[in-house]
Amino acid sequence: MSTPGATPWEPGLAVVVGASGGVGRALCEHIEQHLPQLTLCRLGRREPVRLDLLDDESLQHARDHVAALVAQQPLRLFIDATGYLHQGDWQPEKSWRTLERDHLMHQFAINTVGPALLMKHFLPLMPRRERSVWATLSAKVGSIGDNQLGGWYGYRAAKAALNQLVRTASIELRRQAPQAVCVALHPGTVNTALSAPFSKAGLEVQSPAQSAERLLAVMQGLQPEDSGGFFNHHGQRLPW
């Protein structure tokens, strides 16, 4: 991957999905404060332009809203900052004995099917002849090659499937937009409601602002030859 910051963003539109979440909100704040050449569009369940990954009508409405904006300025940056790990009694599985159909289906609905539908609706809006970046937040635990500890069955599997979707979509995207980049990014452990309960001694825990700064530096440094890749928040390529 090229050195982060090597390619300044051209003026245009930046879209963040999951803009009300911990990392998503920090990404929006960093864009507004440090990237004035980008016009920010926030999408999410609690945003004025509503987008719920489980609601097809909201996906289509959000797509139409962004398409109208793209008619006025090119889409330079699209970030999917959504994700699901735990909720209430649903916790990451430590053993196959705790696997439940409903929990597994919800993992895939949010972490795999949802981002796939974002690809369907928004990748066609990327400019055909100019550099742009489409990034989704994956997770290092989705790496099959890096899995040495086991556990977290549903989350690992859903993120591994997301990585495959990114790789596959990048191939199709290259045919219509050779300068566009489509990648999966591991944000690291961030002090948010999603990952904070699983922080432990010796593990680097970032603030949302620090994570956003690192992730945007990685995105800014991406080049077309990086499309289809899986990178961490330091810009290092991760194994599949």
Q: Mean of the pLDDT values across residues 139-143? A: 95
Say what percent of the chain tops pLDDT 70: 93
**Is residue 5 over pLDDT 50?**
no
Instruction: Let me know: does 67 contact 124? Beta carbons within 8 Å.
Output: no
How high is the pLDDT of residue 88? 76
Residue 239 CB neighbours (<10 A): 10
Cα 209 to chain centroid, rounded = 16
C-alpha to C-alpha distance for 127 and 177, rounded to whole angstroms: 7
Q: What is the band of 89 on the pLDDT scale with cuts at 50, 70, 90?
A: confident
Return the H-helix or E-strand segment holding 16.
Answer: strand 12-17
Tokens of 54: 């489980």
Kind of pairing, strands 180-186 and 132-137? parallel
Class of 12-232 in CATH: alpha beta
Q: What is the pLDDT of residues 50-80, one digit of tens each?
A: 999 999 999 999 999 999 999 999 999 999 9
Which of these, 27, 72, 19, 65, lies nearest to 46 by C-alpha position?
A: 19
Residue 38 has pLDDT above 80, yes or no: yes
| Token output for 221 | 């440094």
Mean residue pLDDT of the chain comes to 93
Backbone angles phi, psi at 238, to 5 degrees: -105, 150
pLDDT for res 1: 56
List, edge to edge, every strand of the sheet that includes 75-80: 38-43, 12-17, 75-80, 132-137, 180-186, 230-232
**Predicted local confidence at residue 222, as pLDDT:** 97
Q: Given a cut of 70, is residue 107 above it in pLDDT?
A: yes
Q: What does the pLDDT read at residue 191?
A: 86
Rg (CA), the chain: 17
Give the pLDDT score at 58. Answer: 98
Residue 166, pLDDT above cutoff 80 = yes
pLDDT class for 90, splitting at 50, 70, 90?
A: confident
User: For residue 31, how far is the Cα from the chain centroid?
Assistant: 15
**More confidently predicted of 195 and 148:** 148
The number of helix segments (H) and strand segments (E) in the chain equals 6, 8
pLDDT in tens, 181-232: 999 999 999 887 665 565 555 578 889 999 999 999 999 999 999 999 999 9
Torsion 152-154-113-47 (CA) sign: negative
Identify the pLDDT of residue 56: 97
